Structure 1
């Protein structure tokens, strides 16, 4: 699983929660760092948890970049954002997070 968020406290909390539930977790603080990580990841993560508002490369820009690379386009993405205007067609969780809803999405995407 890949958590992409510029908020270090949230990123670390998500990593801890997911690892406690048995998942391997990679983290990145922006879309560009995440794309660089995805190019090296083997195997690819089963799910990307993606914030929208980040410096360097936003979540919207990262979504567009993912769709340009066949091997990455198949990775499920769930937007995790305080935005009131989530992208259409994407799974979405509103901040502050509902932990049970998050774990349900993770289990569906990655097994559990």
Structure 2
């Protein structure tokens, strides 16, 4: 899946991944890939700018740590990030229910007039 297809949803996906606890950037990328069954294979050039944007917005905070002699930035949700994620879940539910009325398996075909 291409990054463009996620427009407007990437931030919510990142918040959801970080809900499970603090992760460094590469682990976030791996978690997106794993939870999507390999569909979300996003490049670092997509993920890191989004994480910085979330950090500037106060939804995520980060710290530097050393792991196996390597410096890594670890990201975690803030209280505002948890609240934003809850709001994103409500919005997603409403959006997917609405779109499902048109594209879902039980959606009636439109009559041609």
Shared fold (TM-score greater than 0.5)? no
Which structure has greater helix proportion? Answer: 2
TM value normalised by structure 2: 0.27
Q: If you compute each CA radius of gyration, which structure gives the higher value, 1 or 2? A: 2
